[in-house]
């Protein structure tokens, strides 16, 4: 998994994979780009290996993504989940994996509210519902095939914090089963 922030989706997926009935996939590595991020602390607590590949150490997005790709390939990783990865992904990473092997979770009902401020944008737009989407990563940001969505109602009392909490709750429910389904599919393809 790749994460830049709090890592609550990372933790939800780790816990889901550890349940006895879903021993199909293992979260084997967390890559973070921010040294102090919550995701790293969660990985330490959960006993999941993590590595810092800090974008500030690279001259371009492509070089950063190349370093990430090398690490993933070295670890024989089949499926990459972006959960709060606040970086735009380049072809260096996308083209290194078969189509559909990179997934992202986004806090809106795509195609509505693409981009890095989806929750604020939904509040600003005054819509009565938003949600979250799991989708395949393609070169165009937040535009890949959608695999699952969940709706969240917005009330007059909602602010960024409360809406974000409601969306996270749904994300933790929809992301893990989709990742597991993908993992099963990959396992079948490998025979
Ligand atoms: C989630 O809302 C996800 O949709 C977005 O970033 C947030 C990450 O949350 N891409 P967390 O770090 O998993 O708690």
Cα 158 from Cα 138, distance rounded (Å): 32
Residue 99 has pLDDT above 70, yes or no: yes
What pLDDT does residue 190 have?
A: 64
Alpha-helical runs (H) found in the chain: 8-18, 38-46, 61-74, 91-94, 118-125, 160-189
- The sign of the CA dihedral 60, 55, 163, 104 is positive
Closest C-alpha residue for ligand 1 atom 7:
84
- Over residues 175-186, the mean pLDDT reads 91
Could you read off the pLDDT of 34-77 as tens digits, one per residue?
A: 999 999 999 999 999 999 999 999 999 999 999 999 999 999 99
Q: What is the Å distance from ligand 1's center to 96 Cα? A: 24
| Domains by residue range for the chain, with CATH | 2-190 (3.40.50.170)
pTM over 0.75: yes
At 187 the pLDDT is 79
Q: How far apart are CA 81 and CA 71, in angstroms?
A: 14
- Pocket perturbation via mutation, ligand 1, pick of 105, 167, 170, 174 by most ligand atoms within 8 A of CB: 105
The span from the CA of 129 to the CA of 26, in Å, is 34
């Amino acid at each position: 998994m790749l994460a830049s922030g709090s890592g609550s989706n990372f933790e939800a997926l780790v816990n889901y994979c550890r349940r006895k009935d879903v021993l199909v996939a293992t979260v084997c590595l967390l890559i973070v780009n921010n040294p102090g991020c919550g995701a790293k602390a969660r990985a330490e607590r959960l006993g999941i290996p993590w590595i810092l590949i800090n974008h500030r150490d690279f001259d371009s997005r492509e070089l950063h993504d190349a370093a990430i790709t090398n690490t993933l390939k070295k670890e024989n990783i089949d499926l990459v989940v972006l959960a709060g990865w606040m970086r735009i992904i380049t072809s260096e990473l996308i083209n290194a994996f078969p189509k559909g092997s990179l997934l992202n979770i986004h806090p809106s009902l795509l195609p509505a509210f693409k981009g890095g401020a989806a929750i604020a944008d939904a509040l600003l737009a005054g819509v009565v519902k938003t949600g979250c989407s799991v989708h395949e990563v393609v070169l165009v940001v937040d535009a890949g095939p959608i695999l699952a969505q969940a709706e969240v109602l917005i009330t007059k009392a909602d602010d960024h914090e409360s809406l974000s909490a409601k969306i996270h709750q749904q994300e933790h429910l929809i992301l893990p089963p989709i990742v597991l389904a993908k993992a099963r599919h990959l396992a079948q393809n490998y025979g």
